[in-house]
Amino acid sequence: MKSLPDEDQLREGFIDFAELAVELTGRSESDPKYLKFAAVNAQVALELFLKYFFTRNGKVAEIQKKKNGLLQNDFIEHAQILSHYYSTRNWSYGVKRELVSLMEARNSILHRAQQTEWDIALATNVVRTLFFIHSTWYSDFGECLFERSYGTPHPLSANKVWRKGVEGFVDHLAEIHDMEIRTCLACNQYAVVTGEFFGLLGAEGSEYLICLNCFDSIDVEHEARLLKCHKCLEKTYIIDAFNEQKRQLYVGKCSNCGEDSWVRCCRNCERFFHPEDGEVYVNGIYFCSSDCAEMFADKSV
């Protein structure tokens, strides 16, 4: 007897197809024929993910076929599921018309052997669909499709198609949320957001700054600090807080203007500051102010 897939089967399915879509997207830059395969796999991943979404939420009956008022062991059409999904959301990580466009492209590929030429719109649509799956899965269920890079950039971070898709998704995120976007110091893509709006496996939480392009991430509570840049005056100066050099100096760089002069850490209050903004030097020790120098001297007595 025909039966519906369970939550675990749907989960495994959409992950497999999404990962293959990522791999094929990478190949498509050098060989355009892989784009159609990436599109098909991304579309299948989307279909399975939406079924997973309703199944995990205990609402599978909402997307089941009915006959004479009785639920059948079959799903309604994907287009209907997609429309129903959007009818239940005030906002979404994906633009409906783009997801519909991907569905139409998939049908053209499979049923009419069309969409065989290179199409940058389709390519970026594939990437944005993958980010829709990742972000919805993360925001609703706390799970991730993509993983933190741990110092090794994501293989697609230099891929033009990937970067274009990331750019579009970041723009969409900015439309949904009132948030600040920064330039990544690792890959130079304007795609860094806070962990409040996007997470990665291994980088979950608002304390992270995350690049959606190369998946580099910085923990601004422990690994790094944010400081107001003394050049552009934006709070975009990122400091490597665990890498102290001689004379209380630390490496830092502004993700907004590119300024990369040294910063110091006050020996008394442990606040980072730009030496150019003024400092106090007493007995071989640097302080951010005369008050801190005096307090440190009092504690040393």
Span 146-178, pLDDT tens digits: 999 887 888 899 998 899 999 999 998 888 888
Collect all residues with Cβ–Cβ distance below 8 Å to 111 and sequence separation of at least 6.
none
Domains with residue ranges and CATH for the chain: 1-143 (1.20.120), 146-222 (no CATH), 224-300 (no CATH)
- The rounded distance, in Å, linking the Cα atoms of 65 and 62 is 9
In angstroms, what CA-CA distances link 214 with 6, 145, 152, 255?
A: 33, 14, 8, 15
Count of all residues that appear for the chain in the document: 301
Span 108-149, pLDDT tens digits: 887 666 655 667 888 889 999 999 999 999 999 999 999 998
- The rounded distance, in Å, linking the Cα atoms of 146 and 140 is 15
Task: State the distance between the two ends of the chain, measured CA to CA, in whole angstroms.
Answer: 84
More confident residue, 180 or 51: 51
Beta carbons of 234 and 228 less than 8 angstroms apart: yes
Q: Going along the chain, which residue ranges are E strands?
A: 64-67, 70-75, 182-183, 190-194, 208-211, 217-219, 224-227, 237-244, 249-254, 263-265, 272-273, 280-282, 285-287
The model's pTM: 0.82
User: Which two structure tokens, joined as six digits, stand for 200?
Assistant: 């990665």
pLDDT at site 69: 86
Q: Amino acid identity of 280?
A: V
